[in-house]
């Protein structure tokens, strides 16, 4: 088997992976980097982030305000040391992006402009019209081309981490265009593989977001933290789940039920004012907005369509000029996909799965419980998002923690002992045998698309915006059944060149592990907090559950769930306050 070597191997070339690669290259140009990704960097899902990235820069803002918004937004399940560090570092990271050429939208005097975002007390979200993630990704990718120490392996599908005695020494990855397995040996591995929204059927997430990195680390013994917290974005297009940014509401869009009524005022977010008020109404946090939709649907006040119930996003009063300047992608998507022009029409929307607050458990340096193994970005859980992420904190997170993990890894590799050849070879050949067996298997009756559909539909039914013991147990059983039946899947395509049947099969294997960790963590958390809402335990329970869930892999059954204390430094758990009581300012 061909072996590649590098000091640091980065899995995933989206925002976090590219930021990490550049940080390594800048910290020490002599540290060699292998940047391994199953897609070309510019296809990574960071490109789909629209609204912006929050960072304190304006004179009316304070780091403490961003800290408070983030901690309260996360329903106090955030680690406050991590949040403090995050809000401190993000303005520098965003300025660094500016220095690399990111086309941030500007004020008249040439300074970077900010827009309002949900759950944020002050306008602090930097944006590049409504294509912020796209511009950040391309800026990072194009900038990364400057550094000779970054060697890219585009379209290499990472299958496993190589771990010996609690120390990570590389990965195995399939070169997608030859089908050949390769070993990548290194002293540190940074997993930046993104989220796992595809374990649900309706999601803003692209096809590639199948939780591969999460599953890889999980199988290698690293716990997945707080997996039960799944963010539904309040405004996805029905059917396709395509994202319409929170910026629509930040700029002043309304959410209307079937009677044309701004129903959010019935859910503690009012009063309904004409101009948007920060932390109120449509600028409330995503969990509250998605939950309000669920209640409206139960009351029969949503609009039924062939793609499920919808409510309306009304942007007509914003005017064509503003929409063209600040929300051009939203206009393009709405006109094309639902035949509604936001300038003149109401746009049908509904909550769809958007983001995983949980992920690979790391410390504030991105380090995991396995030496030399780091994680950053959506696949990781540093715990700045807690039980509910505020919109525009994720683009900042991938920069801050991508760079931090990288710098820490650069220090780590100076003294790290490499993995032994014997162990690396043995583990790589196990992977080789496993894939060869998958190719040879002919008796399988199970089909990947059918299993995937059965599992994802069950996740939506039993593990959605609201859950209870019965629904979760039912989903848990389905996931366990799918996991058992997955062993009986045979490839229908036995070729080696760009075999997408093979990759979808491997991805489904990852999705099943992630789904199981998610649903079992949800069953065990017998309280309601942030995005995890239990109909049978409606209150937040700080006595028993002011703790992170830690799911440990079990090859033969449900994961073991353990708990880890939340880090609280200066903000004691309190009520989350939105609407009039939050005292937010009018934005415009």
Partner 1 sequence: MSAATTDTANPRKPYVRPISKTSWFLTSARYKSYMVHEVSSIFVALYMIQLVAGLFYLAAGPEEWESYLAFLRSPVVILLTLVGLVFFVIHTTSWFKAVPQATRIMRGEEVLPGKILVTAHYGIWAAVSLFVIILAWVA
Partner 2 sequence: MTATRTIQLEVLRYRPEQDAKPFFQTYAVPVEDEWVVLDALNYVKDELDRTLSYRWSCHMFVCGSCGMMINGEPKLACKAFMQDYPSGKIRVEPLSNFPIERDLVIVQDDFVEKLTAVKPYLLPKQDKTVEQGEYLQTPAELKKYKQYSLCINCLCCYAACPQYGLEPSFIGPAALTLAHRYNTDSRDAGPEARGDLVAAHEGVWACSFVGACSQVCPKDVDPAGAIQQAKLYSALNFVTGMVKGDK
502 in contact with partner 1 (CB under 8 A): yes
181 binds partner 1 (CB under 8 A): yes
Nearer to partner 1, 453 or 495 (CB): 495
Catalytic residue among 138, 249, 288, 467: 249
Task: Take residue 126 and report the two structure tokens written for it.
Answer: 């930097």
Closer by beta carbon to partner 2, 16 or else 47: 47
Site of interaction with partner 2 (CB under 8 A): 39-40, 42-45, 47-48, 92, 95-96, 98-101, 103-112, 131, 134-135, 138, 142-143, 145-146, 154, 177, 206-208, 239-240, 242-243, 306, 329, 332-333, 336-337, 447-449, 491-493, 495-501
489 is a site residue for partner 1 (CB under 8 A): no
- 92, 111, 146, 177: residue in contact with partner 1 (rule CB under 8 A): 177
**How many C-beta atoms surround the C-beta of residue 218 within 10 A?**
25
Q: Is 89 exposed, middle or buried (0-12, 13-18, 19+ CB in 10 A)?
A: middle
Of 2 and 275, which has the nearer Cβ to partner 1? 2
Strands 150-154 and 33-37: parallel
- Rounded CA separation 41/39 (Å): 6
Residues in Cβ contact with 411 at an 8 Å cutoff, skipping those fewer than 6 apart: none
Region from 28-36, 129-137, 409-417, 431-439 binding partner 1, contact rule CB under 8 A: 431-439
Stretch that binds partner 1, among 92-100, 172-180, 251-259, 528-536 (CB under 8 A): 172-180
What residues contact 111, with CB distance under 8 A and at least 6 apart? none
CB of 101 to partner 2, least distance (A): 3
Letters for 532-561 (x = contact with partner 1 by CB under 8 A, - = none) are ------------------------------
Q: Are 277 and 119 in contact (CB under 8 A)?
A: no
324 interacts with partner 1 by CB under 8 A: no
Structure-token pair, residue 466: 């609201």
Separation between Cα atoms, residue 226 and residue 441, nearest integer Å: 36
Which residues make beta-bridge pairs with 171?
A: 161, 184
The entry of partner 1, partner 2, none that residue 96 binds, CB within 5 to 8 Å by partner kind: partner 2
Q: Which residue in the set 419, 435, 561, 566 belongs to the binding site for partner 1 (CB under 8 A)?
A: 435
Q: Of 110-118, 178-186, 467-475, 477-485, which segment contacts partner 1 by CB under 8 A? A: 178-186
DSSP state letters, 482-539: HHHHHTTB--S----TT-HHHHHHHHHHHHHHHHHHHHHHHHH--S-BTTBEESSS-S
19 carries an active-site annotation: no
Question: What letter does residue 263 receive in the DSSP assignment?
Answer: G
SS3 string of 10-70? EECCCHHHHHHHHHHHHHCCCCCEEEEECCCHHHCHHHHCCCCEECCCCCCCCHHHHHHHH
Examine the residue annotation and report whether 295 is marked as an active-site residue of this protein: no
Q: Pick between residue 437 and residue 497 the one whose CB is nearest to partner 2.
A: 497
- Measured from the CB atom, is 336 or 554 closer to partner 2? 336
Q: Shortest Cβ distance from residue 570 to partner 1 (Å)?
A: 43
Q: Which residue from 98, 363, 432, 461 is in contact with partner 1, where contact means CB under 8 A?
A: 432
User: Which residue number, 501 or 542, has a Cβ lying nearer to partner 2?
Assistant: 501
Calculate the alpha carbon distances from 369 to 26, 143, 165, 389, 520 in Å: 26, 32, 12, 24, 21
Q: Which of 65, 294, 496, 563 binds partner 1 (CB under 8 A)?
A: 496
Q: Which is nearer to partner 1, 481 or 501 (CB)?
A: 501
Which sequence positions are flagged as catalytic? 233, 249
Site for partner 1, rule CB under 8 A: 1-2, 174, 177-182, 431-432, 435-436, 439, 495-497, 502
């Amino acid at each position: 088997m061909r072996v590649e070597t590098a000091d640091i191997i980065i899995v995933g070339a989206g925002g976090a992976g590219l930021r990490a690669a550049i940080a390594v290259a800048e910290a020490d140009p002599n540290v060699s980097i292998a940047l391994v990704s199953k897609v070309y960097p510019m296809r990574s899902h960071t490109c789909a982030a629209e609204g912006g990235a929050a960072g304190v820069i304006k004179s009316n803002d304070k780091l403490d305000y961003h800290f408070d918004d983030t901690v309260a937004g996360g329903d106090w399940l955030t680690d406050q040391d991590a949040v403090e560090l995050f809000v401190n570092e993000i303005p520098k990271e965003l300025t660094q992006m500016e220095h690399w050429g990111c086309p941030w939208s500007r004020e008249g005097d040439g300074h970077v402009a900010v827009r309002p975002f949900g759950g944020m007390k002050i306008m602090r979200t930097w944006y590049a019209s409504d294509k912020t993630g796209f511009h950040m990704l391309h800026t990072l990718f194009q900038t990364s081309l400057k550094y000779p120490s970054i060697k890219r392996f585009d379209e290499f599908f990472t299958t496993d981490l190589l771990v010996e005695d609690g120390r990570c020494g590389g990965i195995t990855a399939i070169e997608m265009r030859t089908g050949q397995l390769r070993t990548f040996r290194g002293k540190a591995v940074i997993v930046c593989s993104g989220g796992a929204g595809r374990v649900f059927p309706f999601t803003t997430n692209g096809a590639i977001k199948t939780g591969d990195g999460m599953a890889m680390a999980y199988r290698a013994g690293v716990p997945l933290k707080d997996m039960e917290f799944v963010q539904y974005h309040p405004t996805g297009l029905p059917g396709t789940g395509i994202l319409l940014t929170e910026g629509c509401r930040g700029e002043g869009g309304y959410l209307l039920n079937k009677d044309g009524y701004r129903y959010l005022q019935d859910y503690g977010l009012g009063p309904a004012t004409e101009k948007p008020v920060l932390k109120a109404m449509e600028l409330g946090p995503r969990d509250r907005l998605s939950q309000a939709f669920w209640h409206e649907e139960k009351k029969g006040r949503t609009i039924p369509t062939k793609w499920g119930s919808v409510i309306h996003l009304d942007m007509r009063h914003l005017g064509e000029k503003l929409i063209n300047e600040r929300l051009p992608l939203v206009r393009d998507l709405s006109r094309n996909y639902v035949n509604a022009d936001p300038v003149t029409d109401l746009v049908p929307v509904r909550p769809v799965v958007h983001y995983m607050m949980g992920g690979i458990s790391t410390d504030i340096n991105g380090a995991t419980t396995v030496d030399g193994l780091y994680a950053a970005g959506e696949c990781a859980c540093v715990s700045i998002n807690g039980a509910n992420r505020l919109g525009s904190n994720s683009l900042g997170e991938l920069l801050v923690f991508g760079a931090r993990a990288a710098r820490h890894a650069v220090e780590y590799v100076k003294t790290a002992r490499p993995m032994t050849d014997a162990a690396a070879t043995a583990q790589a050949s196990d992977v080789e045998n496993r894939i060869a067996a998958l190719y040879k298997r002919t008796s399988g009756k199970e089909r990947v698309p059918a299993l995937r559909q059965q599992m994802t539909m069950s996740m939506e039914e039993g593990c959605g915006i609201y859950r209870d013991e019965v629904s979760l147990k039912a989903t848990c059983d389905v996931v366990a059944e799918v996991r058992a039946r997955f062993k009986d899947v045979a490839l229908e395509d036995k070729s080696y060149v760009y075999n997408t049947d093979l990759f979808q099969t491997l991805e489904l294997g990852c999705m099943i592990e992630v789904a199981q960790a998610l649903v079992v963590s949800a069953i065990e958390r017998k309280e309601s907090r942030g995005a995890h809402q239990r109909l049978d335990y409606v209150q937040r329970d700080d006595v028993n559950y002011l703790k992170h869930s830690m799911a440990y892999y079990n090859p033969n059954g449900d994961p073991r769930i353990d708990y880890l204390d939340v880090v609280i430094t200066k903000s004691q758990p309190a009520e989350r306050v939105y609407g009039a009581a939050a005292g937010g300012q009018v934005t415009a």
